[in-house]
Amino acid sequence: MTSTWQISGVTGAARARAALARLAARHGVPAVERARLAAALGVRLRQCLAEGGTWRLTLDVHRTKDGGDALHAVLAPPADASVPGQRPWETTIPFSPVHRPRADSDSDSDSDTVPGDVPAVLSQSLLSADEDTALVLDRLAEQEALVAFHREELHQTNQGVLALHAELDAAGRAQQEAFAAERRARNEAENARRRLTFLADASAVLNTSLNHGEILRRLPELLVPRYAARVDVWLFDEDDGPHRPPPRPAAAVRAARTGRPQYAADHPGGLRGVDDQPPSKLDAGRPLLCVPLLTRQAPLGVLTLSSPGERWDPDDAVMLLELARRAGIAIDNARRFEHNRDIAETLQLALLTDLPTTPGMSLAARYLPATHGMNIGGDWYDAFHRPDGSLITVVGDVTGHGLHAAVMMSQLRTALRAYAVDGGSPGRLLTRLHGFLHQLQPHLYATAVIARFHPDEATLTWAAAGHPPPVLRLPDGRVRTLDAKPGAMLGIPLEQEIADHTEQVAPGSTLALYTDGLVERRVEGIDSGIGRLADALGSFGPAELDTDLEDAADRLLNPLLRDSERDDDVCLLLCHLHR
């Protein structure tokens, strides 16, 4: 349905506006949309009246493509418009029709008049416009209330957001503080781990050495430059030499007198368990930490450290105090060991026998202590003449190490010499030693081998009790292992009669008696070691053994003791018959 109005004056404009409002109302256009359409058309009509000319308003109600209804309004300018290129005003409003228009109003009309009385029509249009305006105002009030409600709701939401932001900010600060505390805790744990690792490694270095001079040399290497710029160790009993002792800091002297650590600097140290003192005149520019080296009985000395920086970290100072305590114990242990070792070596040398001079024979003996421990053990050798002119040679090994084993070895040697005065073969002598040891020390055992040479006989009589077999080198260079069945170990809870064995020997023969430390190794059996000994003994020429048996003994040991570390004592006795 299409309607057309010609507008050339105010009355025509009013009628057109009223007609548009009535048409929109008839077709169910909402009041707000009607008011908006009427206001927009009124503004445009006022502009048209100002421009002049006859304008044409076309209203068309039609179906849209999607099946709905729409009101299409077009306000076209006059054909003789004074403004060239002026474009028409148009708008389209979709709606849902309330009812269909009457049949008498369906025809198009291009008249500029509206049926009925003009004032009545205008009044009715004005009232209709007021009604639409009232509806718009009501709707506006509803929207204002809704806006106020949403404004309040938005305000509450903003307050909640602000509170949430505050909580998030507080949570962020708390998280940052937690991260900072975690970093501090991690750094402290790492520093503690570093100190413990250093203390453990330094303790291992100090305690692995039993030489106090080596410990004193290693201390500066451990502490400089990380924990000290300079290290000085003052041992009290080493200042008694002919030279005047060097001057010591006053704090070191006070530490020696009181037995408490002292800190000398121009500022308080704040170190736990450490007394503060004025700066040292010997080194006024650096703080000094003087720690007494305490032992079980009395202070051993003072360890003086010069700070690597302005001051020590308190935790580092605690670690240094503990290291000084361990260093004092390590030095004391090393000096005790050195003292006992000197005693043991003196005792060992006193127990070793001077070999006798025998016409027609040469003797050479070697004793090498183990490289670990106190350098004293139960290995021994002996050679002596009996009243009948025969020569007794013996090599033995008492189980264990230390002073106890050495004392038992001395007793066995003395008992053997006493039994030998009464005569008796090597087997008989070992049998008597077996009974003696079992009665004297029921839980101590020994092994031994005895060989007897007689100047008037070309025979060798020997006997062994749990000992490695003797090795005999014949004049022609051939080597035999005397592996006849030996007796059991001396001192075991078993009665036994140890048998004698006899071998024919000729001038130029050499007998080797030894202990298991010479031929036994952890990685291989004892038989391999005995084989190497036999090969080494067979490699000598006849003239070498006749000329210098001492040199031959050294040359015999060298290939058999390639390893500098020995877990057991080594004893060797060579008996050579001259040609």
- Please give the CATH number for the structural domain made up of 209-346: 3.30.450.40
Residue-wise pLDDT for 211-239, tens only, equals 888 898 999 999 988 888 899 999 988 75
Distance between CA 368 and CA 292 in Å, rounded? Answer: 39
H or E element in which residue 174 lies: helix 118-208
* Lowest-pLDDT choice from 159-173, 189-203, 236-250: 236-250
414-417-419-420 Cα dihedral, nearest 10 degrees: 170
Using alpha carbons, list the distances in angstroms from residue 204 to 197, 215, 338: 11, 11, 19
Distance between CA 151 and CA 138 in Å, rounded? Answer: 19
Confidence of residue 431 (pLDDT cuts 50, 70, 90): very high
Secondary structure of 505-551 in HEC code, one letter for each residue: CCCCCEEEEECHHHHCECCECHHHHHHHHHHHHHCCCHHHHHHCHHH
Q: Where are the domains of the chain?
A: 2-115, 209-346, 353-577
Residue-wise pLDDT for 476-507, tens only, equals 999 999 988 889 999 998 899 999 999 999 99
Q: What percent of the chain has pLDDT over 70?
A: 88
Residue 478: exposure state from Cβ atoms within 10 A (0-12, 13-18, ≥19): exposed
According to CATH, the topology of domain 353-577 is Phosphatase 2c; domain 1 (3.60.40)
**Sign of CA pseudo-dihedral 398, 401, 407, 410:** positive
Q: Cis omega (within 30 of 0) on the bond before 542?
A: no
Residue-wise pLDDT for 334-365, tens only, equals 888 888 777 777 776 777 778 898 888 999 99
Tokens representing 526?
Answer: 């004892």
Confidence of residue 576 (pLDDT cuts 50, 70, 90): very high
Tokens representing 170?
Answer: 């507080």
Report the DSSP pairing between strands 275-277 and 262-264: parallel
Distance between CA 203 and CA 286 in Å, rounded? Answer: 27
Q: Are 559 and 538 in contact (CB under 8 A)?
A: no
Q: Are 488 and 496 in contact (CB under 8 A)?
A: yes
Confidence of residue 457 (pLDDT cuts 50, 70, 90): confident
* Lowest-pLDDT choice from 41-55, 99-113, 527-541: 99-113
pLDDT the model gives residue 292: 93
Q: Are 460 and 453 in contact (CB under 8 A)?
A: yes
pLDDT the model gives residue 104: 41
Angle at which helices 314-351 and 212-223 cross, to 10°:
160
**Sign of CA pseudo-dihedral 115, 117, 119, 122:** negative
DSSP class per residue in 368-380: E--SSSSS-EEEE
Q: List the strands of the sheet with 55-63, edge to edge.
A: 2-7, 55-63, 69-76, 89-95
Count CB atoms within 10 A of the CB of residue 234: 22
